[in-house]
């Protein structure tokens, strides 16, 4: 059953006698554990109509490049095959999604869409709601507990949102059953483009090709499930004590798949919740509380991707220390090329550039040092966001925005005052070395990236 609180009507249009029902897939790029898809199937069955899935492939998604598109198209190939097995046709068009859905909806009785939290995702849905002539209904499927069920305002920190999530968690931590479609849509003749030949499709896109795809992450639900099962069977039990040591490979590596909606956070949570131990609890804290805090942040803070998103105390303390002497100052070009004096920071930057994902603990250190090595905090914020969005497979989303903001004090508390940082939490190389073998981390990254220094 799909909880009513996941469902939101986006316009006041009345149902019409169309040829089909449409599920506009955008944020939740998967066929399993997709509340929006199951809702659309349910509606199609009740109306006695076939269901089609629409996906709009746009060239100009903000900050996206070849690396992101290649990963996404890998996943869409699996979506195409899985929908075919269920008797559902997917229509992929090379068009901005809000324009494409308006074209498809002209013959639709109803359109269902998954929920997106970022500005452009909300913009697409708002535009479509006003343009199409049938109901547009949004179903939230990329969080465990629906956003408004948790809070109606921006939360200060994990401490303030944790209890609100846990009070509702049992109501939503329930399996989602697949519904069989009654009317097959595979024979419908509607213009589409193929996503099976990924290389050919990528060649036709007018996108930034300067950032290459990576071999260590392949998109799609099947790959996400492999990583999840390996994590549960081998690393979950010690996740609480090893997650901040990048040499241990203790993390799940699921964030790129969650970013593209290729795996459901509810599915992950249900697989993990049946296990026991502190590792389970620590992982669920990250997957549900911390991740959904970032959704709250992006939804209620309109400046989420700028320096202005920060609480007043952060901006005040950073302003007070803006003119403090910096021992090192690096340009954006030097930072992007990992040309600093700090081998640990350089390794973190190279891990992101070459492998598409930086270890979470190193990402915190990485962001703090950009603040320390840049003349103004506003400039540091722009640089951190630019680099994170350009190279990280899991950048450009609520977790990425919240992660960068955290490095500048968001969702944290004031600490002991010091130069440059003011009351913002400080991190240094000595702290890394106390927690783990930082020199071994550098060697590991260089080996993985094929970097050999004289």
Domain chopping of the chain, boundaries: 17-141, 143-176+220-300, 307-449
Read off the pLDDT of each residue in 207-233 and give the average, rounded to a whole number.
97
Distance CA 388, CA 391 (A): 6
pLDDT value, residue 426: 98
Read off the pLDDT of each residue in 7-30 and give the average, rounded to a whole number.
96
Give the model's confidence band at 452: pLDDT under 50 very low, under 70 low, under 90 confident, else very high. confident
Question: Is the predicted pLDDT of residue 245 greater than 80, yes or no?
Answer: yes
Give CA separation, 363 vs 173, 216, 344, 358, 384, in Å: 30, 18, 11, 6, 10
CATH architecture of 307-449: Orthogonal Bundle (1.10)
CATH class of 17-141: alpha beta
Give the model's confidence band at 282: pLDDT under 50 very low, under 70 low, under 90 confident, else very high. very high
Distance CA 117, CA 123 (A): 10
pLDDT value, residue 389: 98
| pLDDT, tens only, 365-401 | 999 999 999 999 999 999 999 999 999 999 999 999 9
Give the model's confidence band at 454: pLDDT under 50 very low, under 70 low, under 90 confident, else very high. low
Domain 143-176+220-300, CATH among 1.10.1740.10, 1.25.40.80, 1.20.120.1230, 1.20.1260.10:
1.25.40.80
pTM of model > 0.85: yes
Read off the pLDDT of each residue in 21-34 and give the average, rounded to a whole number.
98
Angle at the Cα of 290 from the Cα atoms of 285 and 294, rounded to 5 degrees: 160
Mean pLDDT of the chain: 97
Question: Is the predicted pLDDT of residue 15 greater than 90, yes or no?
Answer: no
Read off the pLDDT of each residue in 256-271 and give the average, rounded to a whole number.
98
Q: Contact 107/67 with Cβ under 8 angstroms? A: no
| pLDDT, tens only, 287-328 | 999 999 999 999 999 999 999 999 999 999 999 999 999 999
Per-residue tokens: 19: 């040829």
Give CA separation, 411 vs 81, 254, 278, 297, 304, in Å: 41, 23, 23, 9, 12
């Amino acid at each position: 059953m799909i909880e009513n609180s996941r469902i939101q009507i986006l316009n006041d249009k009345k149902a019409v006698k169309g040829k089909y029902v449409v599920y506009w897939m955008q944020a939740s790029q998967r066929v399993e554990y997709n509340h929006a898809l199951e809702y659309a199937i349910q509606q199609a069955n009740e109306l006695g109509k076939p269901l089609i899935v629409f996906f709009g492939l746009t060239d100009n998604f903000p900050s996206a490049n070849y690396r992101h598109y290649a990963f996404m198209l890998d996943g869409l190939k699996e979506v195409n095959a899985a929908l075919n097995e269920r008797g559902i046709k997917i229509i992929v068009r090379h068009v901005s999604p809000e324009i494409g859905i308006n074209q498809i909806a002209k013959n639709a009785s109803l359109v269902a869409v998954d929920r997106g939290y970022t500005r452009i995702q909300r913009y697409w849905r708002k535009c479509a709601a006003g343009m199409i002539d049938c109901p547009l209904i949004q179903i939230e499927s990329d969080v465990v507990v629906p956003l408004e069920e948790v809070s109606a305002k921006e939360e200060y920190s994990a401490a303030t949102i944790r209890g609100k999530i846990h009070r509702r968690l049992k109501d939503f931590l329930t399996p989602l059953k697949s519904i069989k479609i009654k009317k097959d849509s595979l024979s419908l003749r509607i213009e589409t483009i193929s996503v099976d030949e990924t290389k050919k499709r990528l060649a036709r896109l007018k996108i930034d090709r300067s950032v290459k795809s990576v071999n260590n992450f392949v998109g799609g639900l099947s790959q996400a499930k492999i990583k999840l099962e390996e994590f549960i069977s081998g690393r979950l039990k010690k996740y609480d004590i090893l997650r901040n040591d990048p040499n241990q490979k203790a993390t799940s590596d699921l964030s790129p798949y969650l970013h593209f909606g290729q795996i459901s956070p509810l599915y992950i949570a249900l697989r993990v919740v049946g296990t026991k131990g502190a590792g389970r609890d620590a992982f669920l804290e990250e997957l549900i509380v911390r991740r959904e805090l970032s959704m709250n942040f992006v939804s209620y803070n309109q400046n989420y991707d700028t320096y202005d998103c920060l609480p007043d105390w952060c901006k005040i303390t950073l302003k007070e220390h803006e003119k403090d002497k910096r021992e090192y100052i690096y340009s954006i070009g030097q930072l992007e090329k990992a040309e600093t004096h700090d081998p640990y920071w350089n390794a973190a930057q190279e891990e992101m550039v070459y492998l598409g994902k930086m270890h979470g603990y190193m990402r915190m250190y990485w962001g703090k040092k950009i603040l320390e090595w840049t003349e103004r905090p506003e400039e540091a914020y722009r640089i951190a966001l630019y680099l994170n969005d350009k190279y990280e497979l899991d950048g450009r989303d609520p977790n990425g925005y919240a992660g960068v903001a955290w490095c500048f004090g968001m969702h944290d508390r004031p600490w002991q005052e010091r130069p440059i940082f003011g009351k913002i939490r400080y991190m240094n190389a000595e702290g890394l070395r106390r927690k783990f073998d930082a020199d071994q981390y550098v060697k590991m990254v260089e080996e993985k990236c094929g970097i050999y220094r004289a």
